[in-house]
A = this chain, B = another copy of it.
Amino acid sequence: MTTHSAPADALVDADDRHLREERIASDEVYKGHFLSMRRDRVRLPDGREAAREYVVHPGAVMIVPILPDGRLVVERQYRYPVSRTMIEFPAGKLDPGEGGLVCAQRELFEETGYRATRWAKAGVMHPVIGYANEFIEVWFADGLVAGERQLDEGEFLDVFEATQAQLEGWMRDGRLTDAKTIVGMMWLAQWRSGACTLTWTEVPASPV
């Protein structure tokens, strides 16, 4: 048998030395306009060597923006790599040295025109653990104040509002397939069901 009899809560934190891989060497193998890729040599748990290729990413934030009536602000954006228009929560990459909250405020404002007066960090996700070091911080934004968005040059996206039930319905019928957005919906469902609390920070809704 392949499974363990110890309680799951013990296993999740159990020693992981029999699983870990150690870096031997690391090379940048591709340097593009937006992406770079590294190929590392690693030592496996059994002492042998292997190669690991991965995209280097600065990290990102995603915002779950909550309107006074409880609806969420979402975007509709064409995503070239998957050749389709996707429904997403607002998100964006961290600038060098930028903190998560500042990035979240900036991206929400630039893409949707909204500023928020209350912010809470729910958690972090890793979208692509097989071949990128990307992490995405999940931020809730409450007390929204509408304004005029400031899209980056060459950025095209629609902004609209949807209920939690609508978003979940679009996931079930295949119209919403963006993993980070579904993770945000999971956090929203957990929070609204009372399974977790969030620690809110009050932020003046002044220009970013």
| Contact, CB under 8 Å: A129 / B81 | yes
In the complex, what's the smallest C-beta–C-beta distance from A191 to chain B, in angstroms? Answer: 9
Partner among B33, B48, B77 whose Cβ is within 8 Å of the Cβ of A53: B33
Residue A98 interfacial (CB < 8 Å): no
Partner among B2, B50, B88 whose Cβ is within 8 Å of the Cβ of A159: B2
> Whole-angstrom distance between the alpha carbons of A146 and B26 in the complex?
40
- Please, which residues of chain B bring their CB within 8 A of the CB of A83? 133
Partner among B20, B32, B168 whose Cβ is within 8 Å of the Cβ of A29: B32
| Contact, CB under 8 Å: A80 / B55 | no
> Whole-angstrom distance between the alpha carbons of A32 and B158 in the complex?
36
| Contact, CB under 8 Å: A8 / B160 | yes
Partner among B20, B78, B163, B195 whose Cβ is within 8 Å of the Cβ of A85: B20
User: Which of A19, A39, A162 has the most chain B CB atoms closer than 10 A to its own CB?
Assistant: A19
In the complex, what's the smallest C-beta–C-beta distance from A87 to chain B, in angstroms? Answer: 6
Identify the closest chain B residue to A19 (Cβ): B78
- Copies of this chain, how many? 2
Residue A183 interfacial (CB < 8 Å): yes
- Please, which residues of chain B bring their CB within 8 A of the CB of A80? 21, 40, 42, 52, 54
Partner among B8, B29, B86 whose Cβ is within 8 Å of the Cβ of A161: B8
> Whole-angstrom distance between the alpha carbons of A48 and B9 in the complex?
54
| Contact, CB under 8 Å: B78 / A9 | no
Interface residues of A (CB under 8 A from B): 1-4, 6, 8-9, 11-14, 16, 18-21, 29-30, 32-35, 37, 39-40, 42, 44-46, 48, 50-55, 71, 73, 76-83, 85-88, 112-113, 123-136, 146, 148-149, 154, 156-163, 166, 168, 170-172, 174-180, 182-183, 185-186, 189-190, 195-196
Other 12 A-B pairs with CB < 8 A, given A32-B53, A82-B129, A125-B177:
A3-B159, A3-B161, A16-B76, A19-B157, A35-B37, A37-B37, A45-B156, A81-B130, A81-B131, A125-B179, A172-B190, A186-B189
